[in-house]
Homo-oligomer: A and B are copies of this chain.
Amino acid sequence: MQPDLLSPALAVRTLQHFRQHSPLTHCMTNDVVQSFSANTLLALGASPAMVIEPDEACQFAAIASALLINVGTLTQPRAVAMRAAVERANSAHTPWTLDPVAVGTLDYRREFCLDILNLKPAAIRGNASEILALAGERAGGRGVDTTDAAAAALPAAKRLAVRVGAVVVVSGEIDFVTDGERTLIVAGGDPLMTRVVGTGCALSAAVAAVCALPGSRTENVASACWWMKRAGQRASEICRGPGSFIPAFLDALYQLDQEAIA
């Protein structure tokens, strides 16, 4: 099947559902982006909570509407807590999302990610290098920046989606969202987003949260990509650089449906 462009009207409708649902989103994410990820979820209308002690992470994964696992600043104690939380999320039918930050470069996190992949995430969000590395097709990238265009990673993303049973997002200048059969394309955004830390990680938080919604997960996840691209575009139009981009981006997320209606 040929990829389809996601309809903006659908993305806005999904946002309205998201705001009504206000998913309680358990974020086990990296130290650098915690505040920005929480503020992104709050601006979108979700309820974020960061809980990391193994006992508590298990308890909370069962209460939460969705769970995010982001390995950006993975440590051994955090890996133990994440694994326990994912297992509990699975038994409680809480959907969980994996952000395999820099998985192509660093061995410890690659082994961790390949291992928890067996625990069947609902969604995976990475850049092209990360998705290729996770799919075992190539290790790439020196750091967190992608060195491959998203399109080149799409075949690997599709195979990964089928194998794991997850919706896979390859994000980049254009985002590809695939369940292996159907692929949705989301364009937009702005290069300035790569000059602000955590825009990718915040997208993963939104992807995790939207997995709590009923309906087509592929469409829901693609909608979350659209929200971020659209807000990024709006913010870049009015900001003077990466500093003023950050508040403008959160404002734009907050105003997204009003803007669409207008």
B247 in contact with A53 (CB, 8 Å): no
B50 in contact with A32 (CB, 8 Å): yes
Q: Nearest B residue to A36 by beta-carbon distance?
A: B35
Given contacts A39-B243, A47-B145, A63-B142, 8 further A-B contacts (CB under 8 A): A31-B50, A32-B38, A47-B143, A49-B102, A53-B75, A56-B109, A59-B107, A63-B105
Contacting residues, chain B, for A31 (C-beta < 8 A): 31, 34, 50, 52
A198 lies within 8 A of chain B by Cβ: yes
B60 in contact with A76 (CB, 8 Å): no
Q: Nearest B residue to A195 by beta-carbon distance?
A: B42
Known: A35-B198, A49-B143, A251-B242. A105 touches B42 (CB 8 A): no
Count of residues in A whose CB is under 8 Å from the partner chain: 63
Contact with B along A221-262 (1 / 0, CB 8 A): 000000000000000000111111111111111110000000
Contacting residues, chain B, for A194 (C-beta < 8 A): 42
Q: Nearest B residue to A27 by beta-carbon distance?
A: B32
Q: Give me 15 A-to-B residue pairs in the complex whose CB atoms sit less than 8 angstroms apart, sorted by A's number.
A: A30-B50, A31-B52, A35-B197, A39-B246, A47-B142, A48-B197, A49-B143, A50-B72, A52-B75, A53-B109, A60-B106, A241-B253, A243-B247, A244-B251, A247-B247
